[in-house]
Amino acid sequence: MVNISINDIHALTCFWLVFTRWMLVIIQLPIFDNVSIPNIIKILFSLVLSYAFFPLVKGEVYKDMAYMGADSFWTLTIFYAVVSLLIGFLVKCLMDLFTASGSIITQQVGFGAVAYFDPQSASRVGPFERIIQWTMVVVIISSGALLPMFKGIFNSFFSIHVYDLGKMATSPEYFTTVFKGLFLSALLLASPLIFTNMLIMTVLGIVARTVPQMNVIMVSFVVNIGLGLLVFAASSSEFFKVAFQLYTEKLGNWFQFLL
């Protein structure tokens, strides 16, 4: 029979709060949000990160515990959970920038009806969304761009406290700017295909007026798909270059917000 005793309940509570923040952010990061990754892997990885950073951030967590009182375990847990979900959601929104641009490209090329249920992400996706998303994940991981994310999460322990909730009153303006920037960035990435589709529709409209017997609808399907694929293939290198620049720019804004 094994007897477990707790010598310092405050230290255990402090570690639990650190673990809560890391775990709820980690499960939303690229790769870890994939349903094929076992939950035990996510939990163990979060435990390792919590144990590694606990000596560095415990002083900041103790400040929250001292401010709220020793009996505010669940209040602090909820606060840390909400903050973690918010941070992870912002990171996920940065990745959704590429999914959104891929969705626009899918519509413009003419693959709007080509979508399948992906059991790995538990959502319906199209061909361009998956290709762009995983290409950017590989680029981001290989370039070390995930390191600022971890640094931002680490700094959140120093910049986000219970007693600083009044400072969050300015956050709506930040979120409005962020989501507006994400929308415009998605349009920017998909702009070559958008203008190509507009040009094709304009030309086919003129052809329909001059050659009424032509089935313009059937021709538009073939032209849209063929020319759209050619344009995307020709601009793919520039597409991913601009996408990575936009990602690092938005990540920098996110990092400044946490500071």
- Using one digit for the tens of pLDDT, what is the confidence trace for 7-18? 667 888 889 999
Tokens of residue 258, six digits: 């946490």
158-170 per-position pLDDT tens digit: 878 787 766 555 5
Indicate the pLDDT class of residue 2, thresholds 50, 70 and 90. very low
Q: Give the length of the chain.
A: 259
**How many structural domains compose the chain?**
1
Report the Cα 80 to chain-centroid distance in Å.
Answer: 20
Position 131 in a domain:
yes
176-186 per-position pLDDT tens digit: 776 777 777 77
For the CA atoms of the chain, what is the radius of gyration? 24
Cβ atoms within 10 A of the Cβ of 166, count? Answer: 7
From CA 41, how far away is CA 44, in angstroms rounded? Answer: 5
Q: Higher model confidence: residue 244 or residue 119?
A: 244
Nearest Cα neighbor of 157 from 41, 48, 20 is: 20
Position 115 in a domain:
no
What domain range includes position 240?
9-110+122-258
Phi, psi of 242 (to 5 degrees): -65, -40
Q: Is 116 in a helix, a strand, or coil? A: strand
Position 160 in a domain:
yes
Torsion of the alpha carbons at 217, 219, 225 and 226, rounded to the nearest 10 = -170
Position 116 in a domain:
no
Of the candidate ranges 78-92, 113-127, 150-164, 245-259, the one whose mean pLDDT is the lowest:
113-127
From CA 246, how far away is CA 252, in angstroms rounded? Answer: 10
Report the Cα 65 to chain-centroid distance in Å.
Answer: 30
Position 2 in a domain:
no
Indicate the pLDDT class of residue 231, thresholds 50, 70 and 90. confident
Position 48 in a domain:
yes
Position 79 in a domain:
yes
Nearest Cα neighbor of 182 from 95, 97, 90 is: 97
Q: Higher model confidence: residue 136 or residue 27?
A: 27
Position 52 in a domain:
yes
Q: Where is mean pLDDT largest: 66-80, 123-137, 232-246?
A: 66-80
